[in-house]
A and B are shown apart, each in its own frame.
Chain A
């Protein structure tokens, strides 16, 4: 119990200021490691401030001091009891070549679920097109896809003017931002226990399957591959990875077979979700550039076999990157 409040505050303020200065430094330099002596002092100051808060809580006349101490103890509590890694300096190359592919592989099962959802959608869309091709007016939301594929190919191949001239950068930016929004939305729909994410993937699969079957049935397979592969080789996997992130989120919410609380499950996945969606955003930036500057050129300007080879090459590099990158450092960690 405090008898003389002013004396108490005057005596303790020195310790509070010291703790505040230490907290400021730790928050300013998150990668700084305290020496054992400093660590012990920090813990002592935290305990002292906690004890002071307990004392002053019984004292009705000092709401400001109590609030200040609550804030101080709260900050120190977070610093001492936080077990997650502190955010270090930005290491974008390490993140891209190690963390991102490792995170992808860590949640491989979610990726397969995502792939299955889009494949089921594609099979459904393709089947509908085979059964009744007139449904493409409903299935395909883009006007340039609703006509006869052969007419479009004829038109694209006969044009000798660059229809995107003077608009490539803005078209590319539009594609990047639009697709990134779709990807974020697919991730966010994980909050519907994954149902929304699966519907989103299924719907994208339906469009993809319907377009593919429409062009194949019209005998325009080479055009289809040449048009879609250069950007689709990155864009479609990017949407799959966004779906993967959504399913990871849903899995944390549902928590089948995980003997930890919901809060802990969500806490454990938060870094992975941010890694996946950041990787997806980078992939979509690349896909947007390729779609605007490369995919829109057809024969005779750009031979299809070059476009198809480019798309296959991208797909191969992506598969190798996601499957192999960062493995060496993982082994290193195990040896250590």
Chain B
């Protein structure tokens, strides 16, 4: 059912569909924890103001409320937020992290409780050293609490749309004469490869001349192994032009739509 790739968890459903979850590393998780810690301190400081008012009536009751308040907030914060926000605390929300069941199933309340209670040993001897080390060594980047609760922490990076205007130069694209080959290209090129090609085009001016030539030579050679266009379509075009044509072919449906909507 499950197979591991580097820092991603691939889930295959019985319907034969695959989807991948990107695992969060210990550093990102530590930063999220630091935000949560600051939040906990802020909450405790606020409720302490109310307890101070209670202290006018009874100092003993105020001290008791203080002790219990600190305990409940420090332990309950993670449990309540992760349960209420479906696997996210404030820190995790800000850093786009989410606690999920390790098999892609629904996150259970008991899982949230266990992973939060086991912070007691993950945080030993200080600053989550045990949890951090286990997280580094574990294939799924789980700390002990995650391991016991069967949970993983995923990272959902923001997907940025490529700036297609950079690709619209109005130059003739010889690949457009072969729509069936363009369709085959769109089928064979993976999203990651498409992103590499787009990024290469967008950042070409920041590259050294030699590196720029080598990069586009490699990319062009790779794309030629996926789909072979006839010689008349590729004659006389540089490797860089070839990659631009590929990118345009991949994103063309969108581009043509934008052109048509702009023209209205």
Contacts of B20 in A (CB 8 A): 70
Nearest CB in chain A to that of B61: its residue = A169
Cβ A266 vs Cβ B71 within 8 A? no
Type the 1/0 row for B45-65, where 1 means its CB is closer than 8 Å to any CB of A. Answer: 000000000000011110111
| Bound Cα distance from A4 to B257, whole angstroms | 11
The yes or no answer to A137 lying at the interface (CB within 8 A) is: no
- Contact of A176 (CB < 8 Å), options: B16, B65, B68, B195: B68
Cβ A73 vs Cβ B68 within 8 A? no
The yes or no answer to B13 lying at the interface (CB within 8 A) is: yes
Cβ B67 vs Cβ A177 within 8 A? yes
Contacts of B201 in A (CB 8 A): none
Q: SS class of chain A's interface: helix, strand, loop or mixed?
A: helix
The yes or no answer to A233 lying at the interface (CB within 8 A) is: no
The yes or no answer to B205 lying at the interface (CB within 8 A) is: no
The yes or no answer to B25 lying at the interface (CB within 8 A) is: no
Cβ B18 vs Cβ A57 within 8 A? yes
| Bound Cα distance from A137 to B178, whole angstroms | 90
The yes or no answer to A60 lying at the interface (CB within 8 A) is: yes
Q: Count of chain A residues with Cβ under 8 Å from any Cβ of B?
A: 62
The yes or no answer to A247 lying at the interface (CB within 8 A) is: no
The yes or no answer to A81 lying at the interface (CB within 8 A) is: yes
The answer to whether residues A181 and B251 also contact, given A60-B186, A191-B144, A191-B148 and a CB cut-off of 8 A, is no
Type the 1/0 row for B91-123, where 1 means its CB is closer than 8 Å to any CB of A. Answer: 000000000011111111111011001101100
In chain A between 251 and 305, which residues have their CB closer than 8 angstroms to a CB of chain B? 253, 263, 266-267, 270-271, 273-274, 277
Nearest CB in chain A to that of B164: its residue = A61
Most chain B Cβ neighbours within 10 Å, of A82, A253, A277: A82
The answer to whether residues A166 and B60 also contact, given A87-B108, A173-B68 and a CB cut-off of 8 A, is yes
Cβ B109 vs Cβ A60 within 8 A? no
| Bound Cα distance from A168 to B67, whole angstroms | 13
The answer to whether residues A74 and B19 also contact, given A61-B194, A188-B121, A191-B121 and a CB cut-off of 8 A, is yes
Nearest CB in chain A to that of B162: its residue = A61
Nearest chain A CB to B65 CB, angstrom units:
8
26 contacts between A and B (CB under 8 A): A1-B187, A53-B17, A58-B187, A60-B190, A60-B195, A63-B159, A63-B195, A66-B191, A81-B14, A82-B105, A84-B108, A87-B109, A166-B60, A167-B63, A169-B60, A170-B64, A173-B68, A181-B71, A190-B148, A191-B147, A266-B147, A270-B111, A270-B114, A270-B148, A274-B110, A277-B113
- A residues at B contact (CB < 8 Å): 1, 3-6, 27, 47, 50-51, 53-54, 57-61, 63-64, 66-67, 70, 73-74, 77-79, 81-82, 84, 86-87, 166-170, 172-174, 176-177, 180-181, 184-185, 187-192, 196, 249, 253, 263, 266-267, 270-271, 273-274, 277
